[in-house]
Copies of this chain bind each other. A is one copy, B any other.
Amino acid sequence: MARLRLTLAYDGTDFAGWQIQAAGGGRTVQGCLEEALATLCGRAVRVHGAGRTDSGVHALAQVAHVDVPEHRAGLPWGKALTALLPKDVAVTEARLVAPDFHSRFDATGKEYRYTLWTRPGHVLPWRRPYVWDVGRYGALDVAAMEACAGLFVGEHDFAAFQNAGTDVHSTVRRVWDVSRLAGTGPDETVWRFHGEGFLKQMVRNLMGALVAVGRGKATPEDVAALLAAGDRRRAPGTAPAQGLCLHAVEYGAPGLGDKPAEPAGSTP
């Protein structure tokens, strides 16, 4: 057995998320990857991803590991897998790692990016699958959004920003950075979410709260109270999936606010 570490870029538009579903549950990235790997390995294999992206969520650098037969270890995995995979997934890096490497348990940080379409008027057709159209709401109050973003930084109980459906031991997470980046064009604004880990739909819920504050539907003080109370039912809505991209998964010493090494390529 040889353990392989894969870095994957995918367009989440036509996937029912990362994780294999029960029969009939739709096309998944993990499913496509396992199918391609089975062809190259000559037998079924199980892929372990660093995180489960939701349906419609994209990834620039998802990380996964898989055990492949020793005698196949030398294959040019990146090229071979990308050739077999559908065109909305690419393996951007493949390398052999120590047999105890674990894509999920060894991850020390994650970075997500969320893209807002902030120009009034229509979203350009080719940007629709990658942005949340908030341009229709008029100009957002960026100063209030940045004040709100500051509330999320640090170690907090994010129970109010977790969607139901996952059993977790603790809803406390450490967040290193929530900040606005320069957008990909004059029409868009990208938000960065960098932390040790995130709860289910937590990034989309944080983004939903930031936009509510930007629109004047809530104040940073409301959000501070919500964070303290831990009550999801009082929280603003969840931001749509298509604006979100898993930008990087980090290993090694935790980033503690440092900017992670930039993966090659750009957020969709």
User: Which residues of A are in contact with B by a Cβ distance under 8 Å?
Assistant: 9-11, 58, 60, 78, 82, 87-92, 119, 121-130, 184-187, 264-266, 268
Contacts and interface: CB of A to CB of B under 8 A. Distances in A.
Contacts of A186: 264-266
Contacts of A129: 126
Nearest to A8: B125
Copies of this chain, whole number: 2
Contact of A90 (B11, B124, B264, B265): B124
Nearest to A129: B126
A78 B122 CA distance: 9
B121 A126 contact: no
A58 B264 contact: no
A10 to B, nearest CB: 6
B266 A82 contact: no
A122 B185 contact: no
Nearest to A185: B266
**Interface-central residue, A11, A91, A122, by most chain B CB under 10 Å:** A122
A141 to B, nearest CB: 23
Contact of A265 (B91, B130, B185, B264): B185
B264 A126 contact: no
A190 to B, nearest CB: 12
Most chain B CB atoms below 10 A, which of A82, A125, A184, A268: A125
Nearest to A85: B125
B58 A126 contact: yes
